Amino acid sequence: MVLTLSTGMTRAQSQEDLDLAKAYFQNGEMDKAVTLYDKIFSRAPENTAIYGPYLNCLKTLKQFEKAEKLIRKEIKQFPLEPGFKFDLWRLYRETGQVKKEEAILKEIKKSVNKADHLLVEKTAKAFIENNLWDEAIAIYLKGNDLFNDPERYNYQIASIYGKQGKWEALYNLLIQVLGRDESRIQEVKNTVQTYLVESKTSNILKEKLYSEIQKRPSYIPFMDLLLWVYVQDQDFKNAVKYSIQFDKRLGQNGMIVLTIGDQAMQEKFYTEAISAYSYVMGLGKNQDYFYQAQMSLFDAQKQKLLSGRYSANDLNILRNLYLSTIQDYEKERRIYELIDINIDLAELYGEYLMKTDSAIQILEKVINTMPVETNQLLHCKVKLGDYYLIGDSPWEATLLYSQVDKAAPGAEIGEVAKFKNAKWSYYQGDFAWSQSQMDILKSSTSELIANDALNLTVFISENLGSGADSLANINSMKMYAKADLFSFQHQYAKALETYDSILVYYPDAPLADDILYAKANIWIKEQNFEKAIEALSEISLKYGEDIYGDDALYTKANLYDYTLKDEKKAMELYSDLFMKYPGSTYVVKAKKRYRQLRGDKLEEMKNE
């Protein structure tokens, strides 16, 4: 009993001393701290918790001999822990003992003398932590020899080459890895991804890959990696060019080219996508991917047209292309392609040609006479509801939205329909019911729907404010919702007139920035880009710190970039965005596009 009590008192005293030493250490009272650490360490030399602060105290007080003895005790106790040997190396370095510094490094290298993975990793990482890159590489290479595996630590070595900026060595190593084992293609891509920042980096890799492909023309992983690099750099012109070569070489009948075309579409490189799809179609109708390429080609042509300035005649040319293709599909009985192209044609009529009756007629034909699968049928009903609402038949619209919501509860298309029904109520000025539905949708599995629902409910709450019973608040919001409906229905003149009237009748309504942003979007749809930019600029100037600050800047940058083709101005705006709004959801896209416009593109490789 006495022994137990004594032991407990000793532990309590040790903890008390440790806490006091820590307090002295943190307050910079090193002389007092080191006295206590001396005492604690003499009682419990195995206590590694005090080693770090004890060593720092000794070095601060320039008690270097004592520090060396402390480190050597730890080395003796833990001979396989390289960290303690590096502490000794740093001590020698700090005290100018060059020969001892060199000797301990040799000792550390020599200690890696058996196939012990943990020892190799710890030692190499310790070298890396001390910025001794070449020594770390030497340890990994030694590990390769010890394990009789020339590639065991290649990725670790590659990582060091990347940190050193030794691109030649990095890519030589990765190509060597991929050349021996094609299953490691994704690992190689993951490693390369980190370093594809400067054009020269990519050019080095592509030149090396091109050389390897000449030596091994049928080795797919090298082709795969080369195309992947072109896509990462968004150099789709060359991506399409080489995809055609590789597709021919591997006898893929257009599949590789089609894939590159799809990737170009995702990144809005419509011209290059059209080139890819046209090539696949040129292989002939008897090829597997002809009709898939044809449908994608229509989409690319439409998106390219709508991304810039277009005329009614341009839209009519596209419509006639759809109509002639529909005739061909009907002759060939291409039923499923007919479904897709009719849905696209309905969108052209309903969204751009302002012929909602034609859009409704086409979709009703698809729904009632074609073998549409369930999910596609529900999508058609939602779009049909949109066209009824555009055509000023709101009750038919809400009926269709309700049908889809009921048919697919919890599914994304069901939630889309629920959102549209809630938005319909918002248009009617029934804000309470609209918000109750938006509250449900805020937990949607679809991030887009959840965000839209959150944005609308916050917008309603903020602009009705705490005085929801205020007639001015309610009426200004009802006018705004009515203007939104006019905009949705493409009645742009009415929408603009209504937006302008709000601040005339209700000058204190907190809707000025919302109105400007809504009007800017209308002017974009009307292709009045100058007025749109003027409104977006006003938002940046007057309301840059509010909710539309980053939206306005990103929208304006996109206009200069894709529509007005002013790359210099677009770059300036993208740069402003990620500098002014570092937390914006647009930052990643803005930085990516900025780097591309700046010239981080890759030079075209030499022709074969």
* Tens digits of residue pLDDT in 385-434: 999 999 999 999 999 999 999 999 989 999 999 999 999 999 999 999 99
| Per-residue pLDDT, 77 | 85
pLDDT value at 608 more than 70: no
Asked if 561 contacts 593 with a C-beta cutoff of 8 angstroms, the reply is yes
CATH number at residue 559: 1.25.40.10
Asked whether residue 68 is assigned to any structural domain, the reply reads no
295/466: higher pLDDT:
295
Confidence of residue 5 (pLDDT cuts 50, 70, 90): very low
pLDDT value at 197 more than 80: no
Expressed as residue numbers, the domain containing 557 is 511-598
Average pLDDT over residues 181-209: 84
Asked whether residue 334 is assigned to any structural domain, the reply reads no
Asked whether residue 75 is assigned to any structural domain, the reply reads no
Q: pLDDT tens across 24-54, in order?
A: 777 878 888 778 877 777 777 666 777 888 8
pLDDT value at 22 more than 90: no
Asked whether residue 113 is assigned to any structural domain, the reply reads no
Q: pLDDT tens across 267-286, in order?
A: 889 999 999 999 999 999 99
Cα gap 387→353, rounded to integer Å? 12
Give percent above pLDDT 70 in the chain.
94
| Per-residue pLDDT, 233 | 86
Query: What is the chain's mean pLDDT, rounded?
Result: 88
Structure-block tokens of residue 277: 């799809």
Average pLDDT over residues 2-10: 40
Asked whether residue 580 is assigned to any structural domain, the reply reads yes
Q: pLDDT tens across 333-372, in order?
A: 999 999 999 999 999 999 999 999 999 999 999 999 999 9
| Per-residue pLDDT, 9 | 38
Confidence of residue 549 (pLDDT cuts 50, 70, 90): very high
* Amino acid letter, 109: K
Q: pLDDT tens across 113-154, in order?
A: 888 889 899 889 989 988 899 999 999 999 999 999 888 888
Low-confidence winner among 245-254, 432-441, 530-539, 596-605 (lowest mean pLDDT)? 596-605
Asked whether residue 145 is assigned to any structural domain, the reply reads no
Asked whether residue 64 is assigned to any structural domain, the reply reads no
| Per-residue pLDDT, 198 | 60
Asked if 229 contacts 196 with a C-beta cutoff of 8 angstroms, the reply is yes
Three state DSSP letters for 124-168: HHHHHHCCCHHHHHHHHHHHHHHCCCCCCCHHHHHHHHHHHCCHH
Asked if 182 contacts 581 with a C-beta cutoff of 8 angstroms, the reply is no
Asked whether residue 492 is assigned to any structural domain, the reply reads no
| Per-residue pLDDT, 600 | 53
Looking at the 3D structure of the chain, how many domains does it have? 1
Low-confidence winner among 199-213, 238-252, 503-517, 561-575 (lowest mean pLDDT)? 199-213
For 402, other C-beta atoms within 10 Å of its C-beta total: 16
From the list 286, 216, 295, 283, the residue with the least C-alpha distance to 256 is 283
| Per-residue pLDDT, 191 | 86
